[in-house]
Amino acid sequence: MPMATTHSLPLQERVPLNNTLQRASDLTILFLLISLLYCRLISLHFHGFVWLLSFICESWFTFVWILDTNAKWNPVTYKTYPHNLLKRLDELPAVDIFVTTADPKLEPPIITVNTVLSLLAVEYPVEKLACYVSDDAASAATFYSLVQASKFAKLWVPFCKKYDVRVRAPSVYFSTQCPPSVPSALPSDFRNDWNHVKDEYEKLCQRIENACKEKHDGVPKTDEFADFSDVERGNHPSIVKIIWENNKDANAMEDGFPHLIYVSREKRPRHSHHFKAGAMNVLTRVSGVMTNAPLILNVDCDMFANNPEVFLHGMCLLFGFPHEVHSGYVQTPQQFYGGLKDDPFGNQLVVLQHKVALGIAGLQGPLYGGTGCFHRRKIIYGSSPDLPHAHKYDVLSYKEPKQVFGDCRELLDSAAHIRSATMKTSAKLIDLSTKIETAKQVASCTYEFNTCWGKEIGWVYGAVAEDIITGLKIQSMGWESKCMTLDPAPFLGIAPAGGPASLTQFKRWATGLLQFLLGPYNPLLAIIYKSLRFRQCLAYLFFIVWPLRSLFELCYTLLPASCFLTNTSFLPKASEPAIMIPLGLMVSYNVGTLLEYFECGLSIRAWWNNQRMQRIYALTAWLFGFIGGVLKTMGLSETIFELTRKNQNSGESNIDPRRFTFDSSPMFVPGTAVVMVNMVALVVGLVRMMVNGEDVEEGGGDGPGLGELVCSLWVLLSFWSFVKGLFGKGCYVIPWVIVFKAAALVLLFLQIFAKWS
């Protein structure tokens, strides 16, 4: 085939998505919001303080809706053609895979093992892949589990490729009780092989379970595990171990699998370890001196490769553009498996990924999500795109290489090679064992001193939302990103189970986002001083204002109650024409969002669960994330990275996983207080109506009317889990300590409004 024809073969196709109805709905809601603000503005001098509060809150909601509309305005997706890859490229580039885990109790090793096994079995040349597992707990059980997994991989990987297994995480594949029917196209020994591999996987699970017991009974006392004998969590030297190295014999590699390397960075009590960002930078340096692939894929320990061709599709989006600036990184949407039906805790983010993520893909590209992302290593090393009229902010050019990357000669050489070469770099056949001591050196906790790690290069330090800040830094240099959506999904993870676990996750996100907003990486600064585009800046703002939304949501949920307590109103009366504006807003918003859920194949119950949980998150996780972020920014509190429990089994078989459970976390105090205030307010309003003989539709003059009644009931309906929690039993009841604290806030609230009335 002629070279010109070969290079004309497409690797990807940009597909704009039709969203005319979505745009019309969003503009209608925006028009109604502006109309409501206009009515508020011209009537402020006729009403009291409550209308001013309403105007402020609704101004904020209008701003947020503009951000939402901007994010969803230009949705696009990409169709990839992996069968054209080898016709366009002489060879595929090497990829280093990073898998991160931090706690063997919250993130059980069997979950990490399944993720690693799925990655070792992907459809990609094994000599081009290396899998690095970062264990921030320095757990002997985790290392043992990976060693055992490598032995099982000798069966699992050939089995997957022989029978073209589509789901290559064995825990998911073997979730059925009996082997699937044997298609006529498969060899007759498929059933025997299936049973044999399943038996070996069950033995693997049993060995890992024994190793994870309190005394690690299943971990052997051999020289291989000597490094873990006296390890104290948070105070130990670097541990780098090659679990499996590719055989350099090409014939033997045909049924082999990629390198597998265990890494536990050095930790000392007096040295900051920068949480996941620090672990990612250590993996970058360790892989840089060992395999130095031009591409990096990072995944969380619970995000297994659900599509075996995911690497090939990723290459299509990295190579399929005329210039590398168009695909600095390729992000896959976070999708989950085994989630509860109808998403009772609103944490599966289906509509957010489908609507907002694809909309931002039509701008400068999706935000970096922290997992399921292919990066160019040169970008992690701080390289700007080589464009003729691009802004140049390459401060690295004015520094000595040792000031940037540290004083390891091997790392300096590998970084210089990556920054100067294209990513079509062949994987070198090297003896990895000769690189162990160098890898331990760059994994030490003091290596980063007086370097640019965590600032100009690598994952950015300073907030628990290291992913979104790192993505902003990359896009601020002018790089674009691409969103990869496949069927089946590229990666699947585990959504948090239960109310407390979901709140912890959203609180961590909110804290990191506020640190982002108040820190030096604010996207507003990036459009002024760097190369971030204006609409991409608005897309970032859509997410990072989440913690600020809690203040306005809290104020607005208290407005109807305050009206009943002070005998005022914040909405027009039912007999006034102006009531059509808030009524139209309520109807159009709920109908519009419901249609979005229908479009994503979700039910009405899933829609309602997400609507009510958004209110709950705003007054619990987001509010405490805001408080924590402010305290951390002011230096009054230390940054704490709170892990979310990854295993879905709570260990208590009598607990209904779909029901909202409570504990003694202070995050439940605001929601409980809001419920109690609205219940008291409704009783006060009812008593006043009975005593004075007022008609709720007339509102008693300037008093509350039908609108306030509907709003107060809507708040209680949204927080129905808390209402039931006041009268529940066991873990379904709100603890007394939370009730007492909430009651104190309610009494304070009533005292304040008693003076107003």
Residues recognised as catalytic: 136, 467
Tell me: is residue 300 an annotated ligand-binding position: yes
Using DSSP's 3-state secondary structure scheme, residue 482 falls into strand
Give the separation between CA 31 and CA 220, rounded to whole angstroms: 68
Place of tokens 């790089």: 479
From the number of C-beta atoms within 10 Å of its C-beta (0-12, 13-18, 19+), residue 103 rates as middle
From the number of C-beta atoms within 10 Å of its C-beta (0-12, 13-18, 19+), residue 716 rates as middle
Residue type, 29: I
Torsion angle, alpha carbons of 276, 474, 550, 71, to 10: -130
Structure-token pair, residue 411 = 């790392």
Tell me: is residue 663 an annotated ligand-binding position: no
Give the separation between CA 206 and CA 370, rounded to whole angstroms: 31
Give the separation between CA 346 and CA 364, rounded to whole angstroms: 28
Residue type, 444: S
* Helical pair 580-599 and 604-619, crossing angle rounded to 10 deg: 120
Please tell me what DSSP assigns to residue 357: I
CA distances from 323 to 7, 326, 328, 367, 386 (A): 14, 6, 10, 20, 9
Buried b (16+ CB within 10 A) or exposed e, 345-354: bbbbbbbbbb
Structure-token pair, residue 713 = 């009931």
365: left (phi over 0), alpha (psi -120 to 50) or beta: left
Using DSSP's 3-state secondary structure scheme, residue 235 falls into strand
Maximum distance among all Cα pairs of the chain, rounded to whole angstroms: 93
Neighbours of 383 (CB within 10 A): 21
Alpha-carbon 8 to chain mean position: 36
Helix (H), strand (E) at residue 295: strand 295-300
- Name beta bridge partners: 10: none
Long-range contacts of 204-211 (CB under 8 A, 24+ apart): 204/113, 204/148, 204/149, 204/152, 205/110, 207/148, 208/109, 208/110, 208/113, 208/141, 208/144, 208/145, 208/148, 209/110, 211/109, 211/140, 211/141, 211/144, 211/145
Give the separation between CA 656 and CA 647, rounded to whole angstroms: 16
Residue type, 675: V
Structure-token pair, residue 719 = 């927080």
- Name beta bridge partners: 240: 263
Tell me: is residue 276 an annotated ligand-binding position: yes
Give the separation between CA 175 and CA 310, rounded to whole angstroms: 22
Buried b (16+ CB within 10 A) or exposed e, 503-531: bbbbbbbbbbbbbbbbbebbbeebbeebb
**CB proximity list for 616: less than 8 A, separation 6 or greater:** 671, 718, 719, 721, 722
Annotation: binding site for UDP-alpha-D-glucose: 107, 136
Which residues are annotated as part of the binding site for Mn(2+)? Answer: 276, 300
